Amino acid sequence: MRTRSGHLLAFVVLLLGGFRPANAQVTWRRTYGGFGTDEGLCVRTTSDGGILVAGSTGSFGAGSSDFYLLRLDGNGDPLWSGVYGGPGAETGVSCVELADGHAIAGTTSLGQHGGYDYMLVRTDQNGAPLWERHYGSTEWDLCHAMVGLPDGFLLGGITYGGGHTTGAAFFVRTDLAGDTLWTRTMATDGRSECLGLHATPDLGAVAAGRVAADNGYDDGYVVRLDMLGDTLWTATVGGDSTDLMRGV
């Protein structure tokens, strides 16, 4: 894993002044990038009034794409940037600010467990990597979301391991050191997938995504998990076509 200062990610971050759609004005616009393919998939505000952006970069790093974490001030000027990954393809999808650093999560194509794995990277306050962890099965495991909890992290996505050949929603709960506390797989009659997560005050979470419906399409899927990963309730929402939920 590596960090680099001054690298710019090829996407645009917009800050809009005002809240009335008819009168919204662009306060500032910034473009960050190199000569490769770069994208930002997660934006968070920080405790000092800045912005934290996570995504992937094909402009910097050793692989075809790597995790990219960008820290901006309130005016959109870059304070530092970090590139994390190896010779494979890494896709960053979510980030959080911590009291003493940051975390970024996503998927790597060269996972330690085989095939694609969930990947979690912990950094210090300046973006220097502290550790990297991989989670998953010997089959493909694709991470779509991550949330920070007071005592660790929760990652969600889909696994094709454990006999789930059509894919099943898969959750990994870790402590602050990245060590696994528990994993859960949401087995259904067909494909299920977590696409978004939101932490709850009781150290649980609400997950949103999709699940295969009887009509051959997908329905939107919501799952409430307690702090041990046990399901408290589920809900599906949909009609006669494809429906899905990406955030909570």
User: Where residue 141 falls among pLDDT bands split at 50, 70, 90?
Assistant: very high
Instruction: Please state the rounded mean pLDDT for residues 224-238.
Output: 95
The predicted structure's pLDDT at residue 31: 85
Closest CA to 162 of 132, 192, 134: 192
- DSSP H or E stretch at residue 113: none
Secondary structure (3-state) at 27: strand
pTM: 0.89
Q: What is the mean pLDDT of the chain?
A: 90
Would you place residue 21 in the very low, low, confident or very high pLDDT band (cuts 50, 70, 90)?
low
Residue 5: per-residue pLDDT: 41
Rounded Cα distance, 221 and 167, in Å? 14
Q: What whole-number distance in Å separates Cα of residue 146 and Cα of residue 247?
A: 11
Tell me phi and psi for residue 22, to 5 degrees. -70, -25
**Per-residue pLDDT at 18 exceeds 80:** no
DSSP run (H or E) holding 190: none
DSSP for 185-240, written as a single string: EE--SS-EEEEEEEE-TTS-EEEEEEEE-TTSSEEEEEEEE-TTS-EEEEEEE--S
pLDDT (tens digit per residue) in 164-207: 999 999 999 999 999 999 999 987 778 999 999 999 999 999 99
Whether residue 60 contacts residue 90, with contact meaning beta carbons closer than 8 Å, is answered with no
> For residue 236, which of 189, 203, 198 has the smallest C-alpha distance?
189
Q: How confident is the model at residue 6 (pLDDT cuts 50, 70, 90)?
A: very low
* DSSP symbol at 10: B
Spatial separation of the C-alpha atoms in residues 238 and 188, rounded to whole Å? 16
The highest-confidence range among 26-35, 150-159, 185-194, by mean pLDDT, is: 150-159
103 to 85, 130, 154, 231: CA distances (angstroms): 14, 10, 11, 26
